[in-house]
Chain A
Amino acid sequence: MEKKITSPISPDVVEGLKAGDQVLISGVIYVGRDAAHKRLVETLDKGEKLPFDIKGQTIYYMGPSPTKPGHVIGSAGPTTSGRMDAYTPRLLAVGLRAMIGKGLRTDKVKEAIKEHKAVYLAATGGAAALIAKSITKSEIIAYEELGPEALLRLEVKDFPAVVINDSKGGDLYQEGKAKYRIQVGTKK
């Protein structure tokens, strides 16, 4: 069963999310990839204000394909989250609460997720045309010159995702794999 949740996700809801939970997200999410992350962290380093108030927000790691006339956005599936790992603990420390991407995170990021009571979710990599259907509005809020890597603000309705790393240390990528792993030499 899917849980319907609203973004920005409230602290209680985040604490109730468990690795493996299927969710449908509605509300507002921000979009940024490596280049945007680099700029966000540089802005923090300079002691300047971020282009949006990151407290309690959700960031989706994504760089869409160009928007066709009459569409809200192009195909819009997740990119590999690991490329954001270097920047993530810093953003969690200033209040980022949820991230959506695909793929493995470092231990450092997983610890920061626990420490700041945040959550890491995955959308299905490569299901980009399907995911685009859940995006009802898209606007560029900063770094337009980065093209597909610009910072976007999206409004979404029933955006499908699954909880990978929860605020208590649960890890679906590890737990799921362990559950279905067959040791060599043993029969199932």
Chain B
Amino acid sequence: MREIKAKDITETVARLSKEANYYLGEDVISALKKAREQEESPAGRQILDQILENAKIAAKEQMPLCQDCGLAVVFVEMGQDAHIAGGELIQAINEGVRKGYAEGYLRKSVVKQPFSSRTNTKDNTPAIIHTEIVPGDKLKITVAPKGGGSENMSRFTVLKPAQGRQGVVDFVVNAVDEAGSNPCPPTIIGVGIGGTAEKAVILAKKALLREVGKPSPDPEVAELEKELLQRINSTGVGPGGVGGRITSLAVHVEAFPAHIASLPVAVNIQCHSARHKEAVL
């Protein structure tokens, strides 16, 4: 049994919260550069230039890429042979979020009571924590801050199995088309297909953690991703929604077995400020 100190979890989450908000991933930057080359719309190109310049400024000045530093979504993969010492996992993570968001001058965007008073918790906690037990004795932590503008455009439905692949394509394309300029395109589209309602939604979110544009290992799913991206980039929404060819940089689909009676589909839209950083303890 390997021991992992709660204190180290806190420190790591604090560091990842800051890094995710300051430094855009290399995969996102190269996808944006490629989009800049392909985009035909002059207004769209201007927006892509601003986004690329913004990433440079944020990294250089250690300023948040976006003023909306998001809800702190934290994925934890905990090895079944690891043991956490000196504190509780959930508390250690929340303490890390509190620390990182305070030290990093990151915006606190969490309200306590969602449907009435909506008072800010002032430290960006609680984090949204997803834990999974995996083989091994390590602990993998991914901090993925998620802004409201793009998260608000999430969609979920349960299709009839007869609607099949075409039903999935229409639902996903329509969700992105209707979202228009709201989720800060160019976006990355996470799609979860199958499972139960909550399973599809979590798959859609997890799909966003994949390296941008890396196709699914399943050829049939990869083919679906390709078609979805092509259809989405035919909507004309474009960068910033001002019209153009590049509405999305990539579509990532995760599929899972489903009930004989259902075809759940979830869409989670990620803005171009596609922030996530990970560490292994």
Give A contacts to B, CB under 8 Å.
20, 22, 62-68, 71, 74-77, 79-80, 82, 102-104, 122, 124-130, 132-133, 147-148, 160, 162, 164, 172-173, 175-184
Given known A-B contacts A20-B43, A64-B107, A128 and B234 have beta carbons under 8 A apart = no
* Bound complex: CA A139 to CA B241 (Å): 31
A-B contact pairs, 18 of them (CB 8 A): A63-B67, A74-B105, A75-B67, A79-B67, A79-B149, A103-B180, A104-B180, A104-B182, A122-B242, A125-B149, A125-B271, A126-B147, A128-B66, A128-B68, A129-B63, A147-B120, A148-B108, A183-B234
CB 8 Å contact bits of B165-203 with A (1 = contact, 0 = none): 000000000000000111010000000000000000000
Q: Which residues of A contact B66 (CB under 8 A)?
A: 75, 77, 125-126, 128
Give B contacts to A, CB under 8 Å.
40-41, 43, 46-47, 50-51, 53-54, 57-58, 61, 63-69, 105-109, 120, 122, 147-149, 152, 180-182, 184, 231, 234-238, 240-245, 271-273
From A124, A130, A175, B57 is in contact (CB under 8 Å) with: A130
Q: What secondary structure prevails in chain B residues at the interface with A? A: loop
Given known A-B contacts A20-B43, A62-B67, A160-B50, A103 and B105 have beta carbons under 8 A apart = no
Chain B residue, CB-CB nearest to A146? B120
- Are A66 and B106 in touch, CB under 8 angstroms? yes
- Are B64 and A176 in touch, CB under 8 angstroms? no
Given known A-B contacts A103-B181, A129-B58, A177-B238, A80 and B148 have beta carbons under 8 A apart = yes
CB distance from A139 to the nearest CB of B (A): 17
* Bound complex: CA A164 to CA B69 (Å): 26
- Are B107 and A129 in touch, CB under 8 angstroms? no
- Are A82 and B54 in touch, CB under 8 angstroms? no
Contacts beyond the supplied A122-B181, A182-B236: 17 A-B pairs with Cβ under 8 Å: A22-B46, A65-B63, A65-B69, A65-B106, A66-B107, A77-B68, A102-B182, A124-B240, A125-B149, A127-B47, A127-B50, A128-B54, A128-B68, A130-B54, A179-B41, A179-B236, A183-B234
CB distance from A51 to the nearest CB of B (A): 21
Given known A-B contacts A177-B180, A177-B235, A75 and B241 have beta carbons under 8 A apart = no
Q: Which residues of A contact B234 (CB under 8 A)?
A: 181-184
CB distance from A119 to the nearest CB of B (A): 15
Given known A-B contacts A75-B66, A129-B63, A181-B236, A172 and B243 have beta carbons under 8 A apart = yes
CB distance from A74 to the nearest CB of B (A): 6
Q: Which residues of A contact B184 (CB under 8 A)?
A: 102, 125-126
- Are A67 and B231 in touch, CB under 8 angstroms? no
* Bound complex: CA A162 to CA B242 (Å): 9
From B51, B64, B182, B236, A177 is in contact (CB under 8 Å) with: B236
CB distance from B195 to the nearest CB of A (A): 28
Q: Which residues of A contact B41 (CB under 8 A)?
A: 176, 179-180
* Bound complex: CA A173 to CA B240 (Å): 9
From B46, B67, B152, A76 is in contact (CB under 8 Å) with: B67
Q: Which residues of B contact A66 (CB under 8 A)?
A: 105-107
Q: Which residues of B contact A20 (CB under 8 A)?
A: 43, 242
- Are B181 and A180 in touch, CB under 8 angstroms? no
- Are A162 and B120 in touch, CB under 8 angstroms? no
Chain B residue, CB-CB nearest to A77? B67
* Bound complex: CA A61 to CA B240 (Å): 16
Given known A-B contacts A74-B64, A176-B241, A126 and B43 have beta carbons under 8 A apart = no
Given known A-B contacts A62-B67, A176-B236, A180-B236, A130 and B50 have beta carbons under 8 A apart = yes
* Bound complex: CA A130 to CA B173 (Å): 31
* Bound complex: CA A162 to CA B235 (Å): 21
- Are A177 and B241 in touch, CB under 8 angstroms? yes
* Bound complex: CA A74 to CA B271 (Å): 20
- Are A148 and B231 in touch, CB under 8 angstroms? no
- Are B51 and A127 in touch, CB under 8 angstroms? yes
* Bound complex: CA A162 to CA B240 (Å): 10
